[in-house]
C-alpha cells in the first residue's frame, strides 16, 4: 500500500507547502499536519490535519494571520509533548516568534523569544532535555559574531517567563 493510498492525494494550491508529522499522547495517534499557503497573499492559507487510523483530512482555521513560518532552513516542526513547534515571523514587525500547534486540541499558539535573545540573531528551534530550546543559527546582518553563544531553554513549556540560559560559551 502506498503513502498516497493511505493519506489520499493532497493538491497544494499555495506557493509554500510544509508537511509535518507528530504524535498526540492524549489520543495515542500520529498526525500529519500540512501548511499550504502563499507568503505574499495573507488570505491564501490552509492548514490541514490527517489523523492516521481515521483516514480523513480536516481543515484547521486558527493559524494566526500575520505569522509566516520560516521553512527554508527548518522545514519540519519540532515535536515536543504532543505539540509541533516552528520558528516563525510576525510579518508586521519582522520579529521571530515560536509558533506551536497542539496535536490534541489542534489549536495554534505563539511564544515570544527570550528577552535576552539578540534582535539580530536568527534562532534555531530544537528539543534538549525534554524542553524547547533556542540557539542562534546566524546573524541577520551576516556579520561575524563577537558575543557569547547561548542556548536558551523554556523550562516550563508554554510559559514565556520560564526561558533561561542553559549554556553560555565564550
Count Cβ atoms within 10 A of the Cβ of residue 14 and give its class: 0-12 exposed, 13-18 middle, 19 or more buried. middle
- For residue 109, list its beta bridge partners: 100
Gap between the Cα atoms of 153 and 148, Å rounded? 16
Gap between the Cα atoms of 46 and 38, Å rounded? 9
Is the per-residue pLDDT at 145 higher than 90? Answer: no
Gap between the Cα atoms of 156 and 152, Å rounded? 12
Mean pLDDT of the chain: 77
Gap between the Cα atoms of 148 and 122, Å rounded? 14
Q: pTM of this prediction?
A: 0.81
Gap between the Cα atoms of 44 and 60, Å rounded? 13
How high is the pLDDT of residue 2? 46
Percent of the chain topping pLDDT 90: 24
Amino acid at each position: 500500500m502506498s503513502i498516497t493510498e493511505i493519506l489520499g492525494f493532497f493538491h497544494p494550491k499555495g506557493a509554500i507547502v510544509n508537511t509535518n508529522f507528530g504524535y498526540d499522547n492524549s489520543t495515542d495517534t500520529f498526525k500529519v499536519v500540512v501548511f499550504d499557503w502563499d507568503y505574499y497573499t495573507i488570505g491564501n492559507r490552509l492548514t490541514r490535519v490527517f489523523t492516521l487510523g481515521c483516514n480523513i483530512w480536516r481543515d484547521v482555521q486558527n493559524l494566526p494571520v500575520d505569522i509566516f513560518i520560516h521553512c527554508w532552513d527548518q522545514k519540519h516542526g519540532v515535536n515536543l509533548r504532543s505539540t509541533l513547534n516552528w520558528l516563525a515571523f510576525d510579518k508586521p514587525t519582522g520579529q521571530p516568534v515560536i509558533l506551536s500547534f497542539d496535536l490534541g486540541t489542534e489549536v495554534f499558539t505563539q511564544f515570544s523569544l527570550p528577552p535576552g535573545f539578540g534582535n539580530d540573531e536568527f534562532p534555531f528551534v530544537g528539543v534538549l532535555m525534554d524542553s524547547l530550546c533556542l540557539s542562534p543559527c546566524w546573524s541577520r546582518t551576516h556579520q561575524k559574531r563577537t558575543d557569547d553563544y547561548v542556548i536558551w531553554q523554556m523550562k516550563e513549556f508554554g510559559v514565556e517567563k520560564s526561558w533561561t540560559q542553559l549554556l553560555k560559551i565564550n
